[in-house]
A and B are shown apart, each in its own frame.
Chain A
Amino acid sequence: DAKTTQPTSMDCAEGRAANLPCNHSTISGNEYVYWYRQIHSQGPQYIIHGLKNNETNEMASLIITEDRKSSTLILPHATLRDTAVYYCIVRVASGGGADGLTFGKGTHLIIQP
């Protein structure tokens, strides 16, 4: 799997949009970008994924650059409960279960009241 680079930590004010960047410059054409988050003392939680088009769901939006070398996860109206470690992961879509998820260290997002 291609490796990703994320900032170690970020702050965001409550109610504002949180924009979390991820670099994946060696991504292959058949690799998707996945985002998970892990709230303290809980298991990771799936947020969103995409291949090359921007994606939106009830939790977040995912913006992938045209060259696919980077992406941004957007939490439109951050709340204190969004404080968590956010992981950006690239993964082959049909690589079989063992090509599941390779987590890095992620970005610790802290939402400030």
Chain B
Amino acid sequence: GAGVSQSPRYKVAKRGQDVALRCDPISGHVSLFWYQQALGQGPEFLTYFQNEAQLDKSGLPSDRFFAERPEGSVSTLKIQRTQQEDSAVYLCASSLGAYTGELFFGEGSRLTVL
């Protein structure tokens, strides 16, 4: 498809499990962002990649959160030892250039931790 694709769309995990969320950005897009959106709130920045380089990870809430984009295309957000407060929609966005504010978002991965 032409848009940003995220998988899985829905994930239910038991507390303590590890999860991995995948993002396929638009082909050729340099920048890739991860956001976390809690119910009723706006998206909150987690981390940013420019090609394969993770230039900012200041929004990751704890060291249980890890993101990678090894070949500058597909990205994975991993959450270790999930907690109930990790329940949220995780949004991935990409943009063509390094500095543009026009981001293209995927539909998100909804994580529910029981």
Binding site for B on A (CB under 8 A): 32, 34, 41-46, 49, 85, 87, 89, 91, 93-98, 100-106
Contact = CB atoms under 8 A, between A and B. Distances in A.
Given A87-B42, A91-B101, A97-B99, 20 more contacts: A32-B101, A41-B107, A42-B107, A43-B93, A44-B93, A46-B102, A46-B104, A49-B102, A89-B101, A95-B99, A97-B48, A97-B50, A97-B56, A97-B95, A98-B55, A98-B58, A100-B93, A100-B101, A103-B35, A104-B42
By size class, the interface of chain B is: 20 to 34
A44 B43 contact: yes
Contacts of B105: 43-45
Contacts, number: 71
Contacts of B56: 96-98
A103 B101 contact: no
Contacts of A93: 99, 101
B26 interface: no
Interface in B91-105: 91, 93, 95, 98-99, 101-105
A49 B91 contact: no
